[in-house]
Amino acid sequence: MTLLWACIIWVFSSVACAMLPMRLQYIPAVILLIAAPILIVWIGIQLNIWVSIVAVFAFGSMFRNPLRYLWAKLRGQNPKLPSELSE
C-alpha cells in the first residue's frame, strides 16, 4: 500500500511541476527525476520485473527531453537550450 501512495504522490507532484513556469521547474523536476528510478526499482521488487520494465519505458517517454540533454552533455556536446531557459 505504501508503494501505491508513493507512486500517486509522484504522479501528482509531476503534474504540479508541469504546471509551473519553465524557469521554476528546475528544482522540482530534478527531484522527480532522481525519485523515479528509486520508485521503479521499488516497483520491480514489490511487483514484478515486467511491470518495472514498463515503468522504465514510461519514465523514458515522460523525461525524454531532459534525458536527451543529459546524454548530449555526457557525450561532450553542447546542446542548445530553449529560448525561455537560456535567459
* 86 assigned to some structural domain: no
pLDDT class for 40, splitting at 50, 70, 90? Answer: very high
The half-sphere exposure of 35 on its side-chain side, counting CA atoms within 13 A, is: 15
pTM check: above 0.85: no
Q: What is the pLDDT of residues 46-78, one digit of tens each?
A: 999 999 999 999 888 877 877 888 888 899 888
Domain enclosing residue 10, as ranges = 2-16+25-74
Give me the number of domains the chain comprises: 1
| In a domain? residue 84 | no
Cell of 35: 525519485
Q: Is residue 12 part of a domain?
A: yes
Question: Is the residue at 31 inside a domain?
Answer: yes
The answer to whether residue 87 is domain-embedded is no
Residues of the chain with pLDDT > 70: what percent?
A: 93
Say what the pLDDT of residue 59 is.
84
Q: Is residue 7 part of a domain?
A: yes
> Considering the domain boundaries, does residue 82 fall inside one?
no
Top-confidence residue, 21 or 81: 21
